[in-house]
């Protein structure tokens, strides 16, 4: 049957409730097949509250399938998933609606309050407050992804799910976006699951790097390097050597 989810308490009905402020992720026995191909096979994963975890793995290994499952976007996945109530997802494609102005894209689906003011505040966090009334088509790729980040931030997520969010950006824009995510994470401390095939990105940002293989977490590495991390930090280079 479909995965049991209990985002409020973090527990299936009938079991002891998690602490009400629990902001971590707990995944057990996750299974997902497409036809005869089993993509997730009894996968287990924990993310501590406020922890920044990177998920690495070759193309087709099931990273996006896992992220969608954790984000509650896959009704067919089997297993047990605990997530915080407020979870936001950013995809590689920004998925902005071209017929809505930037600020409306940021608050899409939200109700009440002064939505424009909330949108502008979130846009300010990504350095784009002055583009609130622009049309998405007038933004660069990096700006569009920052709007997608603002759209996540406006929901004050306790869990941020990022699926190769900077994969389509040029190297310099990507580096700036990575530093922005790092700053936002340090300020707001959501738990983060960052899917990436970029080993440097994982080692630059994450507390822990996981390697997805054969449907489960095959290996994991603690990235115990103080931030902000220079890309040529010796420990970072050593870990990179072990992952590549």
Separation of alpha carbons 30 and 70, rounded Å: 10
Binding to Mg ion in span 39-78, by CB under 5 A: 63-64
Select from Mg ion, ligand ADP, none the partner in contact with residue 59, using the beta carbon and a kind-dependent cut-off of 5 to 8 Å. Answer: ligand ADP
What 3-state DSSP class applies to 55? Answer: strand
Which of 206, 190, 208 lies closest to 84, judged by CA? 190
What's the DSSP call for residue 229?
P
Separation of alpha carbons 100 and 84, rounded Å: 29
Burial class of 70 by CB neighbour count within 10 A (0 to 12, 13 to 18, 19+): buried
Exactly one of 24, 30, 56, 63 binds ligand ADP (CB under 6 A); that residue is 63
Whichever of 63 and 208 has its CB closer to Mg ion, that residue is 63
Which of 92, 107, 83 lies closest to 28, judged by CA? 83
If one asks whether residue 196 binds ligand ADP (CB under 6 A), the answer comes out as no
Scanning 60-68, 87-95, 175-183, 234-242 for contacts with ligand ADP by CB under 6 A, the matching segment is 60-68
What 3-state DSSP class applies to 100? Answer: coil
Q: Identify any residues that bridge with 87 across adjacent strands, giving them in sequence order.
A: 159
What's the DSSP call for residue 155?
T
Taking the complex as a whole, the smallest distance from the CB of residue 165 to Mg ion amounts, in Å, to 11
If one asks whether residue 39 binds ligand ADP (CB under 6 A), the answer comes out as yes
What 3-state DSSP class applies to 191? Answer: strand
Whichever of 85 and 200 has its CB closer to ligand ADP, that residue is 200
Select from Mg ion, ligand ADP, none the partner in contact with residue 62, using the beta carbon and a kind-dependent cut-off of 5 to 8 Å. Answer: ligand ADP
Whichever of 64 and 191 has its CB closer to ligand ADP, that residue is 64
If one asks whether residue 59 binds ligand ADP (CB under 6 A), the answer comes out as yes
Whichever of 64 and 145 has its CB closer to Mg ion, that residue is 64
What 3-state DSSP class applies to 49? Answer: coil
If one asks whether residue 64 binds ligand ADP (CB under 6 A), the answer comes out as yes
Whichever of 63 and 131 has its CB closer to Mg ion, that residue is 63
Q: Identify any residues that bridge with 209 across adjacent strands, giving them in sequence order.
A: 54, 221
Select from ligand ADP, Mg ion, none the partner in contact with residue 34, using the beta carbon and a kind-dependent cut-off of 5 to 8 Å. Answer: ligand ADP
If one asks whether residue 178 binds Mg ion (CB under 5 A), the answer comes out as no
Q: Identify any residues that bridge with 27 across adjacent strands, giving them in sequence order.
A: 45, 81
Report the interface residues with ligand ADP, using CB under 6 A. Answer: 34, 39, 57, 59-65
Report the interface residues with Mg ion, using CB under 5 A. Answer: 63-64
């Amino acid at each position: 049957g479909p995965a049991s989810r209990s985002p409020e308490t973090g527990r299936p009905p009938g079991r002891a409730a998690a602490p009400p402020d629990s902001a971590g992720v707990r995944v057990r026995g996750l299974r997902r097949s497409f036809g005869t191909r089993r993509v997730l096979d009894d996968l287990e994963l924990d993310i501590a509250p406020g922890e920044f975890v990177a998920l690495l793995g070759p193309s087709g290994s099931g990273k996006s399938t896992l992220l969608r499952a954790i984000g509650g976007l896959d009704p067919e996945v089997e297993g047990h998933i605990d997530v915080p109530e407020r979870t936001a997802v950013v995809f590689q494609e920004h998925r902005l609606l071209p017929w809505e102005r930037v600020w409306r894209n940021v608050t899409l689906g939200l109700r009440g309050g002064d939505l424009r003011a909330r949108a502008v505040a979130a846009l300010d966090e990504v350095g784009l407050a002055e583009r609130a009334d622009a049309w998405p088509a007038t933004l660069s790729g990096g700006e569009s992804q920052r709007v997608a980040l603002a759209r996540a931030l406006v929901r004050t997520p306790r869990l941020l799910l990022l699926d190769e969010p900077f994969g389509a950006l040029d190297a310099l824009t990507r580096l700036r976006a990575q530093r922005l995510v790092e700053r936002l994470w340090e300020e707001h401390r959501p738990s983060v699951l960052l899917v990436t095939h970029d080993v440097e990105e994982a080692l630059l940002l994450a507390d822990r790097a996981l390697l997805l293989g054969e449907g489960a977490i095959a290996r994991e590495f603690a990235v115990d390097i103080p931030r902000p991390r220079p890309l040529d930090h010796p420990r970072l280079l050593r870990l990179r050597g072990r992952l590549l």
